[in-house]
Every structure is written in structure tokens, then in C-alpha cells.
Amino acid sequence: MYPEKLKYLPSHLWVDIETKNIIKIGFTRYLAGQLGKIFLIETPKAGERVSKNKNLITVLTPKGKVDFPCFASGKVLEVNSSVLENPDILISECYSNWILKMKIQKLPRLLSSKKYKELIHV
């Protein structure tokens, strides 16, 4: 449910650390369950710089809208176009579909799988 090879943010994003400051991010199973279905996902474009605490991802679901703030300043290297075209795969296959590949200045404090499960009371 919450792979140990990944790290987690309290905002329910998983983080896959490729190198020291290059990461991929996606939605956790918990978040996917909360959202249920996704109509639309908005992200910065590849090459765009992003600032900490500014909005990074916006998701529109049948019932609501969720903004995900940026957890670290950096640059978007790549956007997974398949999730923009078919955002529901973030619900059905949340760990095999990343959303953004980013180069960040400094890794934020990340949670282990165990700590994340404690956070969501699993």
C-alpha cells in the first residue's frame, strides 16, 4: 500500500529520489482514495521554475478542488503527459504513475513509509 522504497510528504505526495536533488512525485494511495476521481490536473510546464509554498499542482475532482503547495524551490524537468491526458490513472495506479520530475534546491523533511502510515492512522 505504501512502498518502503518511496518517501512521503504530509501533503500525501510520494517522492522517489533519483539522485541527490532530482525527484519524481506522485499521489499516495491514501490521497487517491480521498479524491476518488480526477477531472483535471494542472501543473507547471517543463522548464518552469517553482518556488516553495507557491502552488505546484491543482486537482479538480467531481466534488472539489485541491491545491498542492510546492515543498521546495526548484525547476520542473518533466511532466508526465499521460497523467495530464488521463488523470484517473493517478487513482487506479498511483505508484506507477508519477506526475512531475523536478530538480530541487533542498530536499524537504520526508517521511518514511512507516511514519507516513502513522500519520494517516493505517
Partner 1 sequence: MSKVCRLIFQNRVLPGKSIIIDKKLFLNAKPAIRIYRWSCPTVSIGCGQNLDDFRNFIKKGYKVVKRITGGGAVIHRDDICFSIVIPKSASFFGNIKDTIYKIQSGIRNVLNPYIKKIKINLKEPDRYTKFCFLTKSKYDLVSLRRKISGVAFYKSAKAIIYQGSIDIGKLNFSFNEFSNLLVNEWQKYFFKN
Which residues of this protein are in contact with partner 1, per CB under 8 A? 11-12, 33-36, 39-40, 53, 60-69, 120
- Cα separation, 73 vs 91, in Å, equals 26
- Shortest distance, position 44 Cβ to partner 1, whole Å: 16
Q: In what order do the strands lie in the sheet with 49-50?
A: 7-8, 13-17, 22-27, 100-104, 74-79, 49-50
- For partner 1, the closer CB: 47 or 69: 69
- For partner 1, the closer CB: 78 or 110: 110
- Shortest distance, position 111 Cβ to partner 1, whole Å: 13
- Shortest distance, position 110 Cβ to partner 1, whole Å: 17
- For partner 1, the closer CB: 77 or 120: 120
User: Of 52, 55, 58, 59, whose CA–CA distance to 69 is shortest?
Assistant: 55
Residues paired with 48 in a beta bridge: none
